[in-house]
Amino acid sequence: MTPRPQSVPLNVNGRNVSVQVDDPALPLLYALRGQLKLHGPRFGCGLGQCGACTVHLEGAAVRSCVLPIAAAAGRRVVTLEGLGTPEKPHPLQQAFIDEQAVQCGYCINGMIMQSAAFMSANKHPTNEQIKQALANNLCRCGTHLRIVRAVKRASSSA
Ligand code: FES
Ligand code: FES
């Protein structure tokens, strides 16, 4: 039997949208990237293990590659695009630029989203707390020291 498309309401970056899906278990990431054309969240491992796909759900950092879209229905989702703009970047985005904390950049959007959620509860973290908060976000390029410096820099401007 052909699955019947369902409409899932979401609030994404402050905008109410509705996404048609055949399967409510579809990962949120696929709808964000494929249907809503938001490419801030990245597809890395697809298994909830690398953090590249991190977005905020009601303010908490979640891995959108393993979150069924049905679990986000009617809830607030924020992607990197909703954090700041090129004209008015979020302090974390500016700090990552200032510290030149990017090599290939693949992990960085997830690092920023994870950091932003963490810093909403801890505005002035120590280096150790930053490392712990980002321990499960992987960076193949090895820019960890600069990433920690960038988060620290953003916290001092908060
Ligand atoms: S792509 Fe989601 S955790 Fe790796
Ligand atoms: S900057 Fe390349 S994976 Fe982190």
Q: What is the pLDDT of residues 59-104, one digit of tens each?
A: 999 999 999 999 999 999 999 999 999 999 999 999 999 999 999 9
Tell me the ligand closest to 44's alpha carbon.
1
pLDDT at 157: 79
pLDDT at 1: 65
Return the residue whose CA atom lies nearest to atom 3 of ligand 1.
48
Q: Which atom of ligand 2 lies nearest, measured to the CA of 102? A: 1
User: How far is the CA of 21 from the CAs of 25, 42, 54, 72, in angstroms?
Assistant: 9, 20, 21, 13
**Distance (Å, rounded) from C-alpha 56 to C-alpha 6?**
23
Q: Is 158 in the pocket of ligand 2 (CB under 6 A)?
A: no
What percent of the chain is predicted at pLDDT more than 70?
Answer: 99
Q: CA triplet 34, 36, 42: central angle to 5 degrees?
A: 55
Average pLDDT over residues 104-124: 97
pLDDT at 56: 98
Q: Is 103 in the pocket of ligand 2 (CB under 6 A)?
A: yes
What is the 147 CA–ligand 1 centroid distance (Å)? 18
Q: Is 146 in the pocket of ligand 2 (CB under 6 A)?
A: no
Q: Is 46 in the pocket of ligand 1 (CB under 6 A)?
A: yes
Which element (helix H / strand E) includes 149? helix 144-157
pLDDT at 4: 80
Q: Is the pLDDT of residue 2 over 80?
A: no
Q: Which atom of ligand 2 lies nearest, measured to the CA of 111? A: 4
What percent of the chain is predicted at pLDDT more than 90?
Answer: 94
Angle between helices 108-121 and 91-98 (to 10 degrees): 130
What the block records as the tokens of 2 is 């052909």
Q: Is the pLDDT of residue 158 over 90?
A: no
pLDDT greater at residue 5 or residue 34: 34
What is the 144 CA–ligand 2 centroid distance (Å)? 9
Return the residue whose CA atom lies nearest to atom 4 of ligand 2.
139
Residue 100 CB coordination number (10 Å)? 11
Q: Is the pLDDT of residue 25 over 80?
A: yes
